[in-house]
Structure 1
Amino acid sequence: MSYPSLHNNSFIKALLRQPTLHTPVWLMGQAGHPLPEYRLLRAKAGCYLSLLKQPDYTTEATLQPFRYLSLDAAVVTTDILTLADAMGLGLYFVHGETPRLRYPLRDEKAIQRLRVPDPRAQEYLYQSVAQSRRALEGKVPLIGVAGNPWSLACYMVEGGPPGDFQLIKRMLYRRPELLHRLLLTTSQAVAASLNAQIESGAQAVMLLDPFAGALANGMYQRFSLFYAREVLARLHKSQHGHRVPSILYTRGASQWLVETAQSGADCLGLDASYDLGMARQLVGNTVALQGNLDPAVLLGDEACIRRGVQRTLQAFGPACAGTGHVFNLGQDILPSTPPQALAVVVDAVHAYSQVKGGVHA
């Protein structure tokens, strides 16, 4: 399948640590959700899962923030737990968008039965990727998404948001070999899903590990980072002759930054707890960095938001250096974020990072 040439490749260049004329920006946590257009679309779909499983709706949701904001990349509208659903665990949502699984993995037999799903079980996602890529018309690249095996396993064992992680950690310490089996199968499924998204048109992919920080030292390396490496090693690295870069986002794992930089990802997504300048010093030129404005800053007034953007850019340094910075939030957008705050962030990033003569404007 052929697509138009990419007009704005600053995001891809930054991931590959190549110089850019400004710092590229996109926003984690489905930037369209605060928009009134999204709320109308969600109401039309009937429920969140119905929206996710209908490519026309997900394509529209993917494009909405791009139409409203001058973003340098778009991300396919999905949920990392659609893969668990495809593996037979029965995804549903309560209180709007809080995920639950009807058939959590609570015993050895359930884990032994778990298999990499038939690709047709996520066909709606791959259709959404292809449809969104065509609809973008080469204006900006499209990002595919999946969950890191550890964070997916937390949901799969706990049955929903893991809270105090008691069930998954009981398995980790009492039956580590069983958890390894779960993580191995899940890593194969994640890699297959991301590769299918690449084949469908995703020009970059992101592996999300929001629960990495729940692990103790030593356990993070064995149960989270090891399987992130497994996934990243299996990914297709090119698409029609163009490099497909990867982002690994970990939350609460700042103490393992140097080790995580050896994961095989092209870029590390950082939560808001990181000192961005120090992180850059620690990883050197081995990986690009993405982040890491505190999303709560967007609840402030315009001056507050612009100061936050400027501090983040200054902490990393100029885009022209080719050391690779993608501006983003450190976590998902807060539900109460006013839509106009998103526009202020994007405008401020482009204005403050624009390069003239090799220095920040």
Structure 2
Amino acid sequence: MSFSPVNFPPLKNDLILRVSRGEKVERAPIWIMRQAGRYLPEFHTVRQHHSFFDICRTPELACELTLQPIDRYGPLLDASIIFSDILVIPQALGLEVIMEPGRGPVFPAPLVTPDDMQRLVKDVNVDEALGYVYKAITLTRHRLDGRVPLYGFIGAPWTLMAYMIEGGGAKSLHKSKSWLWKHTEASHELLQRITDVAVTFLVGQVRAGAQMLQVFDSWAGELSPHDFTTYSLPYIKQIAARVKEELTAQGLDQVPMTIFAKGAWFALEQLVDIGYEVVSLDWTIDPEYARQVTKGKVVLQGNMDPSVLYGGNDAIIETATRMVKAFGNSQHIGNLGHGVLPTVDPEALKVYLETVQRVSAEIRQ
């Protein structure tokens, strides 16, 4: 069955949209990065019969996996995020990406020198190359039946560039970082090409039904402050500005945008002023410090260490309680400081969700 991006069911829980607009709310809304995926046994039931990227490219399957945590946790979650991957943009640019068990994403033919950029598609028809994501978003919006809002997302240009050059995950990122110094002009060209695709893709996700957007700069913290300011910040800033402009030009409603620059604690003050309504924090940033630096200009999201979910219920409750109280009455969206890890017990995550909801409601009474 197919659906059109019109006549979506009315939204029953708009808590996360209200807090993202700066409105006072009765408690902190909560969702979890990577909440749809590897830690859920129902995910593995589907995964046994389909490859990872086949699931991403099949709207019915992507929708099914997106809904799994919503079905499991019910009112404990205040948002859903479409099941997809940040590496669909490099695929649209013409690079092959495969997901190897136990290793993660692998690029069989990464970019080695700037000459390899000739292998990239120059004029990407984003709607055609990534239309399967749009279809999954539209289908999911209908099947959510208004239970919670739906996030769309992308990987930030620097993070995607690093994957495209490293050929997958890497510890030092020395290959991609050396490009910044050896091939500065080519690096900026590549970052701009990724940015152009990212802008069109995000606008298309909103057109398809996404109600919020998040940009994942997962490797931001691998850059020095100078290099982050030079090679990441201008492009994530450009994305926010251009997406908002395009939405207005196409007569589409503005949607809240979130930036998550993992590890870039040094850039927190800069991230406040680049056009995002929400700044997501990893677990290395103290909430009280973040509140002081951001001065209420943005909504803060996060930020418990995902590894605490292995520490037992007492540790989860204690840490989550301390986190929520540290954010206080400020505008806050509960989340982890990064994605939920693949071997986490789903019941441990439930304890975290319950604790954040309970404690955030108590401090607002």
- TM (normalized to structure 2)? 0.93
Tell me the equivalent position of 2:71. 67
What letter matches 1:297 in structure 2?
V
What letter matches 1:230 in structure 2?
Q
Tell me the equivalent position of 1:2. 7
**Equivalences for 1:167-178 in 2 at 5 Å?**
167-178=175-186
Q: Is the 8 A contact 2:62 2:83 kept in 1?
A: yes
Q: 1 CA distance for matches of 2:49 and 2:230?
A: 44
What letter matches 1:179 in structure 2?
S
Q: 1 CA distance for matches of 2:160 and 2:336?
A: 22
Shift of 1:240: 7.5
Shift of 1:108: 2.3
* Farther-moved stretch of structure 1 (276-285 vs 201-210): 276-285
Tell me the equivalent position of 1:33. 38
Q: Is the 8 A contact 2:26 2:364 kept in 1?
A: no
Please list the CA deviations of residues 97-135 of structure 1 after superposition, one character each: whole Å capped at 9, or x if unmatched.
600123312222332553352121111111111111111
Q: 2 CA distance for matches of 1:149 and 1:134?
A: 31
Tell me the equivalent position of 2:279. 268
Query: Which of 247, 261, 282 in structure 2 is aligned with 1:250?
Result: 261
* Farther-moved stretch of structure 1 (305-314 vs 111-120): 111-120
Q: Is the 8 A contact 2:36 2:67 kept in 1?
A: no
Tell me the equivalent position of 2:98. 92
Tell me the equivalent position of 1:181. 189
What SS does structure 2 have at the residue aligned with 1:85? helix
Shift of 1:272: 0.5
Tell me the equivalent position of 1:24. 29
Query: Which of 197, 204, 225 in structure 1 is aligned with 2:212?
Result: 204
Q: 2 CA distance for matches of 1:312 and 1:213?
A: 22
**1:340 paired to 2:347:** yes
What SS does structure 1 have at the residue aligned with 2:148? coil
Query: Which of 319, 323, 334 in structure 2 is aligned with 1:327?
Result: 334
Q: 1 CA distance for matches of 2:198 and 2:113?
A: 22
Query: Which of 116, 132, 140 in structure 2 is aligned with 1:110?
Result: 116
* Farther-moved stretch of structure 1 (245-254 vs 12-21): 12-21
Q: 1 CA distance for matches of 2:91 and 2:110?
A: 11
Q: 1 CA distance for matches of 2:252 and 2:60?
A: 29
Counting aligned pairs with the same residue, the percent is 32
What SS does structure 1 have at the residue aligned with 2:213? strand
**Equivalences for 1:294-309 in 2 at 5 Å?**
294-309=305-320
What SS does structure 1 have at the residue aligned with 2:336? coil
What letter matches 1:17 in structure 2?
G
Q: 2 CA distance for matches of 1:194 and 1:241?
A: 12
Please list the CA deviations of residues 164-207 of structure 1 after superposition, one character each: whole Å capped at 9, or x if unmatched.
11111111011111100000000011111111111000000000
Q: 1 CA distance for matches of 2:72 and 2:349?
A: 9
What letter matches 2:47 in structure 1?
R
**Equivalences for 1:226-241 in 2 at 5 Å?**
226-236=234-244
Shift of 1:33: 2.5
Q: Is the 8 A contact 1:33 1:39 kept in 2?
A: yes
- The 3 A distance-change label for structure 1 pair 116 and 65 is farther
**Equivalences for 1:217-232 in 2 at 5 Å?**
217-232=225-240
- The 3 A distance-change label for structure 1 pair 228 and 297 is same
Q: Is the 8 A contact 2:38 2:343 kept in 1?
A: no
Tell me the equivalent position of 2:3. none
**1:216 paired to 2:224:** yes
Q: Is the 8 A contact 2:15 2:25 kept in 1?
A: yes
Query: Where in structure 1 are there 5+ consecutive unaligned residues?
Result: none
**1:165 paired to 2:173:** yes
Q: 2 CA distance for matches of 1:314 and 1:17?
A: 19
- TM (normalized to structure 1)? 0.94
Runs of 4+ displaced beyond 4 Å? 237-242
What SS does structure 2 have at the residue aligned with 1:145? strand
Please list the CA deviations of residues 3-26 of structure 1 after superposition, one character each: whole Å capped at 9, or x if unmatched.
122111111112222111110000
Shift of 1:290: 0.5
Q: Is the 8 A contact 1:25 1:328 kept in 2?
A: yes
What SS does structure 2 have at the residue aligned with 1:99? strand
Q: Is the 8 A contact 1:116 1:185 kept in 2?
A: no
What letter matches 1:152 in structure 2?
L
What SS does structure 1 have at the residue aligned with 2:303? coil
Query: Where in structure 2 are there 5+ consecutive unaligned residues?
Result: 1-5
Between the two proteins, the alignment pairs up a number of residues equal to 353
Tell me the equivalent position of 1:56. 60
Query: Which of 269, 287, 307 in structure 1 is aligned with 2:298?
Result: 287
What SS does structure 2 have at the residue aligned with 1:328? strand
Q: CA RMSD in A?
A: 1.6
What letter matches 2:228 in structure 1?
Y
